[in-house]
Amino acid sequence: MTTRHHAFVIEAGTEEGIGVAQAWAGKELGMKIENNPDVVVLRYGLLSVEDARRVTELAAGAPFSGDTKVIIITASRAYHEAQNALLKLFEEPPRGTYLFLIMPSLGGILLTLRSRVQVLKSQISNLKSQTSTRHKVNPAEEFIKANKERRSAIIKRLTNGKDEEERRELREEALAILNGIEAVAYRSLTSVESTALLSDIATLRGYLHDRSAPVKMILEHLSLVIPRDLV
């Protein structure tokens, strides 16, 4: 008998990811999606520890009808502390509860949490990656392929915010580069080769979540630790 997974992550935008999760619940669990109180969608920008606790509380409650409940969590980013707070829940969800975490990049997910989930992909996501990468180099790939002078120019642009709002946006872009490089490392390097780089990236990401983070120093360090053969 095949063991069914109960915890998933989906690398996608909010609405696309919700659609993937709901489609899976409808197909695999036979659940009615519309107007079903046992299909819960939680939308967050930055997932905090308090949000994670709220998810845990919701998961602990019994389904309103039947024996199955689905909780779909979407977030653009998630604090490390929030992900750590979800570890036990994602490792051992309550009986009949299925969890979905949707984020725009798997690079933002801690290895400890990622090891407890199954990754769900959609045809839309696969099609996007196949078509868009042929026509457009993403910021992480641009940073990886850039020479020393070009990386310096990118770093300078990302550290020249004129006000708090612009600095926040540039810090988000720096995080996207960091997450993208992490994803490339997972895909391109062996586990031995990637260990040091992934450890550095996890540390640097923690710093970038701080509003007063020295973005220039963080990106300069990142530039130094990227292997030359990373593609």
Cα-to-chain-centroid distance, residue 100: 12
Give the separation between CA 140 and CA 187, rounded to whole angstroms. Answer: 13
Q: What pLDDT does residue 110 have?
A: 85
Residue 87 CA neighbour count, 13 Å, CB half: 11
177 and 118 housed in the same domain = no
108 and 32 housed in the same domain = yes
17 and 120 housed in the same domain = yes
pLDDT in tens, 151-195: 999 999 998 888 877 887 788 888 888 888 888 887 777 766 677
Q: What pLDDT does residue 231 have?
A: 62
Position 2 in a domain: no
Give the separation between CA 131 and CA 181, rounded to whole angstroms. Answer: 20
Q: What pLDDT does residue 39 have?
A: 95
Q: What pLDDT does residue 181 have?
A: 86
Nearest to 31, CA basis, from 230, 75, 40, 164:
40
Query: Which residue positions in the chain have pLDDT lower than 70?
Result: 1-4, 122-137, 191-193, 231
Q: Parallel, antiparallel, or unpaired for β 118-120 and 69-78?
A: unpaired
Any bridge partners for residue 218, and if so which? Answer: none
Confirm whether pTM is higher than 0.85. no
Mark which of 101, 126, 151 sits at the end of a domain: 126
Nearest to 218, CA basis, from 59, 187, 210:
210
Looking at the structure of the chain, the number of domains it has is 2
Q: Which long-range contacts (CB under 8 A, 24 or more apart) does 192-198 make?
A: 193/227, 196/225, 197/225, 197/226, 197/227, 197/230, 198/111
Token pair of 60, please?
A: 């602990």
116 and 152 housed in the same domain = no
Q: Phi, psi at residue 122, to the nearest 5°?
A: -120, 160
195 and 101 housed in the same domain = no
- CA dihedral of 163, 167, 169, 172, whole degrees rounded to 10: -170
Q: What pLDDT does residue 156 have?
A: 92
Give the separation between CA 192 and CA 145, rounded to whole angstroms. Answer: 22
Cα-to-chain-centroid distance, residue 140: 15
179 and 115 housed in the same domain = no
Mark which of 126, 146, 163 sits at the end of a domain: 126
Burial (0-12, 13-18, 19+ Cβ within 10 Å), 126: exposed
| Share in percent of the chain as helix, strand, coil (round to 5) | 55, 15, 30
Domain that holds residue 100: 7-126
